[in-house]
């Protein structure tokens, strides 16, 4: 019985104080939104996508035990939510859906046009997401403006509590890398998580400590370092012009304008390769295993655009986390 319970803990997580159970691995739905950009031409997607393949990939993930899907209204200016709804169909109640709000966009022109941190916009955005997702509730609603002012965030936290009382959402969170901001949202009784960047190359000890202290789930974007930890990117690999990594904004390290992956980052990945590919893991599976080993509260959400990627990422679940020794060895290699 003990081994069965340990396996359950390895393969499942609870979204903080909400009691909502999800698979230990979630899937991030940014990439399946397709191409979109800023008005001045900065790409914000991951290049072209095949919607039919995206649908097949979501359904394959479901079959492999993935029950948590993270999207945002802005991804593909609404397209990601629509594709996810199409893929889930009648299986909506089998999964936990997280989406985000705060960024404003033009759906027809596929342009990001700014942000709106007002409580009134939060309600309009939620209504629109519910329609695109073809559902009557969002399981986890997340503020997508990482640097919103704390006073305004407190208003939005209270607005989210209203949404919970109305049955429109079950819980909420903030997508931010700032522990002080995350703590503002955590003052609300139905705040369940913080979404933040975490991977073996970019640790986040303060946020993990906050999650432990305040009983929050740690939802981890960029667990594969925007693809660097898949082993498929090298300095000479050209990226599509519609791929955000081809013209990376300041918050996206590891890539250079038009030059592909940064050689220094690739060297760090290569130094970790033997540790991450232990026990028959692929490099990507090892990177996910590091995230799970880092804290029992972590839920990595790697992106995907194909059935093959869905199968590889989901294959990490059965292999479980790295050992404490492997975790320490990774720190030693990186000089931490």
Specify the CATH superfamily of domain 2-334. NADP-dependent oxidoreductase domain (3.20.20.100)
Q: What does pLDDT average to over the chain?
A: 94
Whether the per-residue pLDDT at 9 is higher than 90: the answer is no
List the beta strands (DSSP E) in 67-123.
Answer: 68-70, 96-101, 103-106, 111-115
Q: Nearest 5°: phi and psi at 322?
A: -65, 165
Boundaries of every domain in the chain = 2-334
Q: Rounded distance, CA 300 to CA 233, Å?
A: 20
> What pLDDT, in 10s, does the model give residues 221-250?
999 999 999 988 765 666 788 889 988 888
Residue 1: pLDDT band (50, 70, 90) is very low
The pLDDT score that the predictor gives to residue 246 is: 85
Q: What is the rounded average pLDDT of the residues 260-285?
A: 95
Nearest-CA neighbor of 23 among 299, 320, 297, 311? 299
Nearest-CA neighbor of 290 among 207, 224, 208, 213? 224
Angle in degrees, 0-180, between the axes of helices 324-334 and 263-276, rounded to the nearest 10: 160
Residue 5: pLDDT band (50, 70, 90) is very low
Is the pTM of the predicted complex or chain greater than 0.75? yes
């Amino acid at each position: 019985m003990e081994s069965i319970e340990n396996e359950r803990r390895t393969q499942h997580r609870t979204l903080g104080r909400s009691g909502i159970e999800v698979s230990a691995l979630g899937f991030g739905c940014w990439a399946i939104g397709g191409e979109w950009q800023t008005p001045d031409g900065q790409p914000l997607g991951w290049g072209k996508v095949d919607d039919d393949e995206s649908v097949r990939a979501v359904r394959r993930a479901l079959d492999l035990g993935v029950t948590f899907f993270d999207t945002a209204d802005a991804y593909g200016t609404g397209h990601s939510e629509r594709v996810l709804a199409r893929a889930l169909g009648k299986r909506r109640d089998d999964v936990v859906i997280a989406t985000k709000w705060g960024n404003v966009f033009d759906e027809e022109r596929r342009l990001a046009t700014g942000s709106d941190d007002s409580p009134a916009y939060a309600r309009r955005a939620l209504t629109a997401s519910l329609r695109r997702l073809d559902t009557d509730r969002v399981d986890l609603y997340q503020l997508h403006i990482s640097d919103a002012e704390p006073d305004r965030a407190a208003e939005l936290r209270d607005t989210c509590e209203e949404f919970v009382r109305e049955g429109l959402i079950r819980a909420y969170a903030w997508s931010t890398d700032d522990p002080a901001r995350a703590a503002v949202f955590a003052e609300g009784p139905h705040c369940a998580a913080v979404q933040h960047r975490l991977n073996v190359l970019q640790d986040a000890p303060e946020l993990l400590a906050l999650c432990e202290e305040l009983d929050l789930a740690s939802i981890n974007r960029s667990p594969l370092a925007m693809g660097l930890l898949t082993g498929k990117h090298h300095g000479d690999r050209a990226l599509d012009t519609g791929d955000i990594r081809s013209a990376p904004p300041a918050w996206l390290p590891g890539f250079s304008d038009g030059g592909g992956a940064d050689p220094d980052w690739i060297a760090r990945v290569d130094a970790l390769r033997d540790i991450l590919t232990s026990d028959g893991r692929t490099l990507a599976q090892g990177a996910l295993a590091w995230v799970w080993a880092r804290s029992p509260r972590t839920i990595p959400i790697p992106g995907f655009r194909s059935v093959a990627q869905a199968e590889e990422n989901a294959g990490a679940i059965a292999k479980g986390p790295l050992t404490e020794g492997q975790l320490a060895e990774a720190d030693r290699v990186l000089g931490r």
